[in-house]
Amino acid sequence: MSAAVIGSTGLVGSHILSNLLAGDIYKPVHTITRRAPKPSSPNLNSIVDADTTKWAAALTGLSPVPAAIDHDLNIELARAAKEAGVATFVFISSAGSDGFLSSWAPYSKMKRGVENAVKELGFDHAIILRPGMILGERETSRAAEGIAQAAVRGLGKLSKGLQDALGQDADAIARAAVKAAQLAWENKAPDKFWIIGGHEILKLAHAEKEEPKAAESSK
């Protein structure tokens, strides 16, 4: 089975790509980005184009048809994925897309709009991850985000459960996305339109992390 990652050079997308390339399930792994991703692998097919208006056509032309694991993809690309025959679509949304923030905060409204569009497109499996604050280091630092991350991690020293409720590490979100796509492929997803919140993200991430250990111990 193949996979496509849109936004594989971003904070979560880069971790998703690394997890896919480290496993044996998805071959090849396609990426469509403005700049080349850092990982290299014989299983990686990287399409680099700074003109994002060409990405939909690039996604439609991929063969074999991939599962589209996305970070920050717009509605046009979601439609292109559907037209290309993608069965499983994973979208990294935001906890703010559910509740009062989705009615007035621009970022949350955008994420909720993409969620609704993905649902209406009718993929065999649509998976929406709604993490809290994404914790991790970006290639380009953002001062305000760094302060907020420090605050969340500081709260974690008082209560790990409180940190887990407010934010999740980028790598954990990535592992959860990969695990959820695998469960959908195995027809083990709990619903055709599966929404995964913060605590379930961490649960899936832990399961994905433990699988290689279990496989190694069984040898």
Within-domain flag for 216: no
pLDDT value of position 74: 73
pLDDT per residue as tens digits for the range 54-107: 999 999 888 888 877 766 657 999 999 999 999 999 999 988 888 777 777 888
Task: Report d(CA 3, CA 184) in Å as an integer.
Answer: 13
Within-domain flag for 218: no
Within-domain flag for 201: yes
Which pair of structure tokens corresponds to residue 174? Answer: 């990535």
Task: Identify the residue with better confidence: 138 or 114.
Answer: 114
Q: Is the pLDDT of residue 212 over 70?
A: no
Within-domain flag for 138: yes
Within-domain flag for 215: no
pLDDT value of position 101: 72
Nearest to 148 by CA among 170, 169, 167, 129: 167
How large a percentage of the chain has pLDDT more than 90?
54
Cis check for the bond before 28: say yes or no (omega within 30 of 0). Answer: yes
Task: Report d(CA 150, CA 137) in Å as an integer.
Answer: 11
Burial 5-30 (b: 16+ CB within 10 A, else e): bbbbbbbbbbbbbbbbbebeebbbbb
Contacts of 57 (CB under 8 A, 6+ apart): 80
Within-domain flag for 214: no
Q: What is the mean pLDDT of the chain?
A: 85
Domain holding 122, by residue range, is 3-208
pLDDT value of position 150: 67
Task: Report d(CA 21, CA 31) in Å as an integer.
Answer: 11
pLDDT value of position 203: 94
pLDDT band at 139 (very low <50, low <70, confident <90, very high): low
Task: Identify the residue with better confidence: 141 or 68.
Answer: 68
Indicate the residue type of 142.
Answer: R
Within-domain flag for 217: no
The number of distinct structural domains making up the chain is: 1
CATH number at residue 55: 3.40.50.720
Q: What is the pTM of this model?
A: 0.81
Task: Identify the residue with better confidence: 206 or 124.
Answer: 124
